[in-house]
Structure 1
Amino acid sequence: MRVLVAEDERDLADLVGMGLRRHAMAVDVVYDGAAAAERLAVHDYDVLVLDRDLPGVHGDEICRDLVQARSPTRILMLTAAASVSQRVAGLSLGADDYLPKPFDYEELVARVQALGRRVQAPLPPTLQRHGIVLDTNLMQVTRDGRHLRLSLKEYAVLEVLMRANGGVVSAETLLEKAWDEHTDPFTTVVRVIVSRLRAKLGDPPCIRTLPGAGYLL
């Protein structure tokens, strides 16, 4: 899942970004509205964690523009204002969810995960294919009953491949969904992670490479 965190309190923004990465999400962090608008114009994000009171370009404007453009990006709006009327106002702009500050971090993670599931085709929380069972709630993977110890990137790549349900996933799509904007698109990082994932999944081999197209499970 690709997430953009737009929050002007730098320490809070960095902590939120760091925490979401621990849940195998690819996260970009910006601290003002202009930078948020720029990133949204370049990348396809699944979820935007949006501080309503951003400097530069206001969060309300960013939310309104995304809704008018019919963007599939889901919006979780954050604000220090906690009154019912203010929450209603935020949701009326088109935000998908609203969380007042201060918030419980685990609740934030759960809300981001729930919004991310709404972007993609509806699938059960437990994905199964070729003897592989991936539990998206517990972030646990087994194959034929054997527990697999995967890195966060290996887990993220496997989840994207399993969600494709047998379809081909390009290296560019894997970069977009499992890595942040600081990753060099010309590196071999995707090939390296897929190679490690193949080794951990074991026999029989279940990840195919289609030259010039991508990978499929």
Structure 2
Amino acid sequence: MFTTHNADIAVIPEWGFAPGENDSTAALLAEAGLRPAEYSIDQTEFFGSGARPVTVIRRGAYRSMKFEQHCELMTWGTLKLSAPDTPTAPTFIGIHTMAPVPYGMEQWRGDLQEISDLVAKAEGPTIVMGDFNATNRHGPMATLGGVSDALDAVSPLNRGTWDANRPKLARTVIDHVLYSTQDFTVTKALVRPGEKSDHAMVVVSFAENGR
């Protein structure tokens, strides 16, 4: 992500560590030939069961952004990067929802409603990304206003993100990068294989409108 695609921010659902565990994130950055000291790494709370936390890795000017976590929103974690002193700065939100499994349908529906509420309340330039465990046709996802999905800029033949172990045409688009349409234009959008994951990696570049 940071070497091949020169990313500034990476949100990684289901990557994180419990207190006392060996956090290998910095070591992996070093293994890739990067300088871990030039990156900031934060994660949501570790629940102790189910999915791992949501982690955000960032560099450059994005290191100074304020990190917050709102575990009360999405089942498996929500994080937020913002610059409260700069109202025109983008806000980045990373999420991981419950999957639509038989024992979690109520939570899943609740998470999708939380996404809708979050988008409706967003003020200023906003990007929401992560594992939504839903397509753009599921529940409130079908009626989101004011945002677009960067995956729409990818050919339908290559757009699927899960299960990455399947042929491309057999995959479903359940990972998304939503952005406030009036504030951004997508300049690049790619779906690439992710290492050691059943989700493909989504790479997006934006231009800020009016700048």
Q: Which of the five TM-score ranges fits, normalised by the shorter chain?
A: 0.3 to 0.5
Higher Cα radius of gyration: 1
Between structures 1 and 2, the one with greater strand share: 2
Between structures 1 and 2, the one with greater helix share: 1
